[in-house]
């Protein structure tokens, strides 16, 4: 797995969720909308159909409190926004082993 610890996910078309990057080590991740976004909210999650929206995801507000999640496979987490071209920044703030945390997302 790649040792990448940060990145940004671009939602090209609002309403069309995109998955997180693959091959990222499991860990505790922090997510926040990028300051230069034109929209106010981004949405994070997985509704079990490999999608997320404003009605199924966790809302994170631009310039608001970041979201922290322990995740084994970042590519199973989906991201959306309320405006085309908005981005969600992420950083792996701690490593975890798959055996130490049972979450599958």
User: Looking at residue 80, what is its pLDDT?
Assistant: 98
Q: For 48-74, b where at least 16 C-beta lie within 10 A, e where not — what string?
A: eeeebeeebbeebebeeeebebebbbb
Domain boundaries, the chain: 6-100
CA pair distance 93, 6, nearest whole angstrom: 9
What integer pLDDT is reported at residue 96 of this predicted model?
77
Q: With a threshold of 0.95, does the pTM exceed it?
A: no
* Residue ranges, the chain, pLDDT below 70: 1-2, 97-105
CATH value of 6-100 in 3.30.70, 1.10.3470, 1.20.58, 2.60.120 = 2.60.120
Confidence (pLDDT) at 2: 60
Tell how many helices (H) and how many strands (E) occur in the chain. 0, 8
């Amino acid at each position: 797995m790649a040792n990448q610890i940060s990145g940004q996910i671009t939602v090209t078309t609002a309403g069309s969720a995109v998955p997180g990057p693959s091959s990222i080590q499991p860990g505790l991740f922090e997510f926040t909308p990028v300051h230069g976004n034109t929209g106010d909210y981004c949405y994070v999650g997985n509704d079990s159909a490999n999608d997320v929206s404003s009605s199924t995801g966790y809302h994170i507000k631009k310039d608001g409190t970041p979201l922290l999640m322990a995740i084994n496979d970042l590519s199973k987490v989906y991201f959306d926004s309320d405006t085309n071209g908005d981005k969600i920044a992420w950083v792996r703030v701690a490593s975890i082993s798959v055996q130490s945390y049972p979450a599958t997302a």
